[in-house]
Amino acid sequence: MAVPTGTVCLTDLRTEFGDANGGNVCLTEYYAGGANVGSGTTNGSGTAIPSSGTLCLKSNFAGAQSAISTVNNQIVGSASFAQVVTSFNNFVVGGGSWQLVNKSLTTGVSGELQHFWYIQEASSQLGGSYNGSAMTTGLNYGWHRVTFNSANIPDSYYIDVTHTLTQLDSALNADASEIAGTGETYTSGANWDSAVKTLLPTSNSGGTAFKVFFTANDECDDFSIYWTTNIKIYYRKSGYPDLLAVNRDITTEIDGYWSASICQ
């Protein structure tokens, strides 16, 4: 909620924003009263001096906002992805994709919405491991759950993606990119990093897919490529600051081995 610019109750502020000052509420001025203080009197710059006994809140309280609150925010599972490729030709080429999928689901509690995130092995070439076991291509595996009550359901969300590349044996080319999701009711579209998406209601059972594609290749040489993909998921609601609800990493590895003896 936004704190109004007019009269504000101190107890409401402390309830909404917590007790950051150890029991004290920060004030601009305190007027204890006096013969020269009264209604209509100014301080020389045209600002009216309040009547005796008036407490004045610091101006930076006005318009302040609290955060969107969650009922539940938890890790459901984890996954990593890897591929090993060999070639007798000049080029050793690897690549594949995984994707995030989300759905708006009920919880059994009236008015609650859980925004459930899944992880998916989107191509068989880039094999996934979910909680230590092999994944089946195209199936959704639980990854993260964020639950809101009826008063705090966001309007929209976006995903901030950062890929950090580590090359133990460097490849000639290595890349990670955000492409259009596939296989679900809705697609993220291409270049979806930080693109704002409407949060669907629980009455819509469709999922939205966000795909990441990886590729690596080299000529007449071995390579080992590792990506750490940081996923930050933010929720938005009118009148509130954005809520960072998810901040997790997903690892992807491609190892290439050149098997020929002569480079043509």
Same domain, yes or no, for 238 and 141?
yes
Same domain, yes or no, for 13 and 139?
no
**92 falls within a domain:** yes
pLDDT for 136 equals 98
Distance CA 17, CA 1 (A): 10
pLDDT for 66 equals 75
**End of a domain among 14, 32, 66?**
66
Same domain, yes or no, for 150 and 31?
no
Same domain, yes or no, for 45 and 126?
no
Same domain, yes or no, for 39 and 143?
no
pLDDT for 58 equals 45
**End of a domain among 18, 43, 66?**
66
Two tokens, residue 206: 């469709």
CA angle 35, 38, 41 (to 5 degrees): 110
CA atoms within 13 A on the CB side of 61: 19
pLDDT for 128 equals 98
**263 falls within a domain:** no
**End of a domain among 66, 101, 122?**
66
Residue type, 222: D
- Residue range 186-226, pLDDT digits in tens: 999 999 999 999 999 999 999 999 999 999 999 999 999 99
Same domain, yes or no, for 210 and 122?
yes
Same domain, yes or no, for 212 and 231?
yes
pLDDT for 7 equals 53
Same domain, yes or no, for 166 and 211?
yes
CA angle 243, 246, 248 (to 5 degrees): 150
- Asked whether 223 and 171 are in contact (CB, 8 A), the reply is yes
Q: DSSP code of 199?
A: P
Range of the domain at 4: 1-66
**191 falls within a domain:** yes
Q: Structurally, how many domains does the chain consist of?
A: 2
**230 falls within a domain:** yes
Residue type, 14: R
Distance CA 44, CA 115 (A): 56
Of 205, 82, 226, 229, give the one whose Cα is nearest residue 143: 229
Same domain, yes or no, for 54 and 99?
no
CA atoms within 13 A on the CB side of 154: 27
Same domain, yes or no, for 87 and 60?
no
**31 falls within a domain:** yes
CA atoms within 13 A on the CB side of 27: 12
**264 falls within a domain:** no
Same domain, yes or no, for 221 and 190?
yes
The mean pLDDT values, 10 residues at a time, for the chain of 264 residues are: 53 53 46 43 52 48 71 98 92 96 97 97 97 98 98 97 94 95 97 98 96 96 96 97 98 95 84
**114 falls within a domain:** yes
Phi first, then psi: what are they for 242, rounded to 5°?
-65, 140
Same domain, yes or no, for 133 and 251?
yes
Q: How many other C-beta atoms can be found within 10 angstroms of the C-beta atom of residue 108? A: 7
